[in-house]
Structure 1
Amino acid sequence: MTRLTLRAPALPLMPRLLPGLGLAALIAMAAMAVQRASGIGALSPMVLAMLAGIALRNTRGVAPAFGPGIAFALRPVLRAGIVLLGFRLTFTQVAEVGGPGLAVIVAVLIGTFVFTKAAGRLLGVEARLAELIAAGSAVCGASAVLAVNTVTRARDADVAYAIACVTVFGTLSMLGFPLLASALQMSDTQLGLWAGASIHEVAQVIGAAFAKSDIAGQAGTVAKLSRVMMLAPLILSLGAFARRRGAEAGRAPMPLFVLGFVAAVAINSTGALPDSLQPLIATTASFFLTTALAAMGLEIDLGQLRLKGLRPLILGALAWVFVSALGLGLVLAL
């Protein structure tokens, strides 16, 4: 009797989730199909899905019945996708970067995050939005914005604005880095490390580095994945600070999914997972994150974005210039 009583309230849950979750998943599948059909590796299906969700929300509207499923995609589905990202990384990859290379990555990450937060205060940008722009610029673009927001708890409009910033400026880096590297006569390895330490999205790093050579591409990919691994300590640190600030109000976010992310990295580092599973895991992680972005788009009112003004965009530009210049200076110093 006890089991029946406990499980009964959960029975209606799935029917309530299906409309919104199904819509977000359908948008995600369409975005991934468009990206594959385009043949453009640097075209992010996550960004496409978010834009499609925004367009649907602001043209046709979204009925209240879709709300529970959209909320589910923005939380459990998102966190599952972040955990699965861990299976793309190994501790060996960090070792391959080497001591000096790892020092550059850590210095760029910390320096960019601290600079962007400080610049946000000077510009009068809301603290939570500045924190999201800082995370996206310092770590890994849209994925970092989504992950950090589990602790920051900013509004969906803030998340969308931050993702827009890192997408625009990361794309400029992808196009400009190879040209500037040629002008500066940088080696392939130098370009790879610079791209991996400074460009926002993984796909953008791959696009910039492989445009130079396979050697640059491999160096950039390893450097970027090592930088992505820093997402776990960043979120845990932000969570600790948030608990300290919100102790009196009872606000104590504990991002347990980050431990799942680290566990996934540890499992992948053992080599126990067969190589044949990696494409499936990567596709599933991408699908989950793209579904979450589609759901986010479905909740965004463009009127709220316009109210943000130009200051957050200026902050994103400053963060982009800073991360690019700091990364370049440290790489050339090596």
Structure 2
Amino acid sequence: MPILSQTGPVARPDGLRRLLPGLALVLGLALAAMVLQRATGSAALSPMVVAMVAGIALRNLAPLSPALTPGIAFAMRRLLRGGIVLLGFRLTFGQVAEVGLSGLAVIAVTLVATFLFTKAAGRMLGLDRQLSELIAAGTSVCGASAVLAVNTVTRGRDEDVAYAIACVTIFGTLSMLAYPLLAGPLGLDAAAYGLWTGASLHEVAQAVGAGFARGEAAGQVATIAKLSRVILLAPLIFALGAYARAKGQGGGGAAPVPWFVLGFVAAIAVNSLLPLPAVALEGAQGVSTLLLTMALAAMGLETHVGRLRAKGLRPLALGALAWLFVSGLALALVLLSR
């Protein structure tokens, strides 16, 4: 019996029994990716990216059974939203206050300017709105998580999502390796370096890795600055959803209201106001990582390599431009704020 069928109809999940085959597959891919990351201890080896790549490989090397389709679709939608809500337990409003007004200004201006610049550059390069928007979100906010979250209102194709995540992974990893080497020549102290890192690196893991590479103080500032940036994902998604509904974008109807973002904000509020035990927070963060990794594995299983190749190098060029812009602008603003 083949693993996959490329011609079977897409079925809606209507019972646990129908979901189990697909969910078992994406869970297996996610767990394998997480074990690999822990075994290597590399912050650059994101389990979400590894799971997506494994899913793409499986999708394009063997035909998938139609029995897997309901579970894969469930992971791409319901599990994704659950993972994003649980991301809120990594943050508190107190952490935002620690960054200070000048630090928050650096983060907010960098995020908005990078998003708008990337969208404009995508239009100049002749790219689809959806792909440009996903690359913009991943670069300006928080990498793969932002790409997945924003796609709930952008409604890009699976290949758009895969390409956007590839861009933020490549260029974010380059920054993680290069930033510690640049801190000395640029004359950045621990606080300035940490703010630059948190305001410009793509993934949380990349920002944390690059921050602590320059010491404990720099790592703490980078982590808080990056998490403060993640909070801005909520207003960004609401704004994009409102704009899409106003413009009638979204593939045959008004874009949905991203109500799950309210859950994300509520999780931040709970984590800020209640003394949650460490084991509960660690559990929520672990489940969030697992759900998002499963969602990316499912995304990979729906991605055709041939369609990625057909997009050419222009999306990669856009990712490079966005990377240089966010790095340069954040550095300039940090230097000006000192």
Same fold (TM over 0.5): yes
The change in CA–CA distance for 1:282 and 1:247 in structure 2 (over 3 A counts) is closer
Contact 2:13 2:19 in 1 (8 A): no
Match of 2:278 among 253, 260, 275: 275
Q: Give per-residue Cα distances to partners, 1:142-187, cap 9 Å, x unaligned.
A: 0000000000000000000000000000000001111111111210
Does residue 65 (structure 1) correspond to residue 84 (structure 2)? The answer is no
Write the distance in 1 (CA, Å) between the matches of 2:145 and 2:234. 12
Number of equivalenced pairs: 325
Write the distance in 1 (CA, Å) between the matches of 2:253 and 2:163. 28
Write the distance in 2 (CA, Å) between the matches of 1:11 and 1:153. 20
Write the distance in 2 (CA, Å) between the matches of 1:100 and 1:252. 35
Q: Runs of at least 4 residues of structure 1 off by over 6 A?
A: none
Contact 2:211 2:219 in 1 (8 A): yes
Write the distance in 1 (CA, Å) between the matches of 2:322 and 2:13. 47
Match of 2:16 among 14, 17, 22: 14
Write the distance in 1 (CA, Å) between the matches of 2:253 and 2:183. 50
Write the distance in 2 (CA, Å) between the matches of 1:119 and 1:11. 39
Residue 133 of structure 2 corresponds to which residue in structure 1? 131
Write the distance in 1 (CA, Å) between the matches of 2:57 and 2:218. 37
Residue 198 of structure 2 corresponds to which residue in structure 1? 196
Shift of 1:276: 2.0
Structure 1: unaligned runs, 5 residues or longer? 1-9
Contact 2:131 2:164 in 1 (8 A): yes
Contact 2:135 2:167 in 1 (8 A): yes
Query: Per the alignment, in what secondary structure is the counterpart of residue 42 of structure 1?
Result: coil
Equivalences for 1:43-192 in 2 at 5 Å? 43-192=45-194
Write the distance in 2 (CA, Å) between the matches of 1:247 and 1:318. 26
Query: Per the alignment, in what secondary structure is the counterpart of residue 135 of structure 2?
Result: helix
Write the distance in 2 (CA, Å) between the matches of 1:110 and 1:44. 25
Contact 1:90 1:265 in 2 (8 A): yes
Residue 258 of structure 1 corresponds to which residue in structure 2? 261
Letter of the 2:296 counterpart: L
Shift of 1:210: 0.4
Letter of the 1:71 counterpart: A
Contact 1:43 1:203 in 2 (8 A): no
Write the distance in 2 (CA, Å) between the matches of 1:272 and 1:206. 24
Does residue 217 (structure 1) correspond to residue 244 (structure 2)? The answer is no
Letter of the 2:53 counterpart: L
Percent identity, please: 64
Shift of 1:60: 1.7
Shift of 1:274: 1.5
Residue 230 of structure 1 corresponds to which residue in structure 2? 232
Write the distance in 2 (CA, Å) between the matches of 1:328 and 1:276. 37
Shift of 1:39: 1.3
Letter of the 1:202 counterpart: V
Contact 2:153 2:255 in 1 (8 A): no
RMSD: 1.4
TM-score by length of 1: 0.95
Query: Per the alignment, in what secondary structure is the counterpart of residue 243 of structure 2?
Result: helix
The change in CA–CA distance for 1:177 and 1:312 in structure 2 (over 3 A counts) is same
The change in CA–CA distance for 1:187 and 1:62 in structure 2 (over 3 A counts) is same
Q: Give per-residue Cα distances to partners, 1:218-264, cap 9 Å, x unaligned.
A: 00000000000000000000000011111896414110000000000
